[in-house]
Amino acid sequence: MPEDKEDPSGFKVVDRRSFDADGAHRDVSQEEEEKPVARIEMPPESSAEAEAEFPYESEEGPTGFDTLVSYLSTTAMFQLGLLPGPGGERIPVDMVNARRTIDLLEVLQEKTRNNLTPSEAKLLEDVLYELRLTFVEIEKRVSPPPR
């Protein structure tokens, strides 16, 4: 791609490497070294258009602690093979990552201790209880019996 041609989009690609494709040292001119890097500026959008395209709040309200707990517990359930994939396909059990996700919830519980409302603390405790029990049950089914 010749350096003097510009793309119709207005972008120009300039190779600033100090070596060529063969690995030989290339002489970079002083002018190229001092050129500032172009900045890409996005056209301003009205906040109404931006919110319509990328809503940060769901219809149910702002994202909160319960959403985080729900997200992590749903992830653990996918990893335990309890929920189907997006296309309805069966997802194989991934005990290692399920354990990590449950551990993340335990870390969250430890780090937020005495900083949660009673309902948030109960939600986290209940979710962890259910996930731990389910993990043990599935681990018994998946692991080979002792000889």
pLDDT one-digit tens code per residue, 56-107 = 555 656 689 999 999 999 999 999 999 888 888 888 899 999 999 999 999 9
Type of residue numbered 75: T
119, part of any domain: yes
C-alpha 19/C-alpha 42 separation (Å) is: 33
**Quick check: is 118 in a domain?**
yes
pTM, to two decimals? 0.56
Annotate 46-79 with three-state secondary structure. Answer: CHHHHHHHCCCCECCECCCHHHHHHHHHHHHHHH
Residue 32 lies in a domain: no
> Is residue 86 situated within a structural domain?
no
Residue 122 lies in a domain: yes
Q: What tokens appear for 118 in the block?
A: 């009673």
Residue 123 is part of which domain span? 93-140
Q: Select the more confidently predicted residue: 39 or 124.
A: 124
Selection from 70, 62, 76 nearest residue 135 by Cα: 76
Q: Is residue 28 in some structural domain?
A: no
Whole-number Å distance between alpha carbons of 102 and 81:
14
Give pLDDT tens digits for 7-57: 566 666 666 677 777 777 777 565 555 555 555 555 555 555 555 555 555
**pLDDT score of 113 more than 70:** yes
Q: According to the model, what pLDDT value does residue 11 have?
A: 63
Q: Classify residue 40: in a domain, yes or no.
A: no
pLDDT at residue 20 in the model: 72
Within the chain, residue ranges assigned H as helices are 30-34, 47-53, 65-79, 95-111, 118-142
Instruction: Give the span between the Cα atoms of 144 and 142, in whole angstroms.
Output: 7
Q: For the chain, how many structural domains are there in total?
A: 1
Mean pLDDT confidence for 111-123: 94
The predicted pLDDT at position 96 comes to: 95
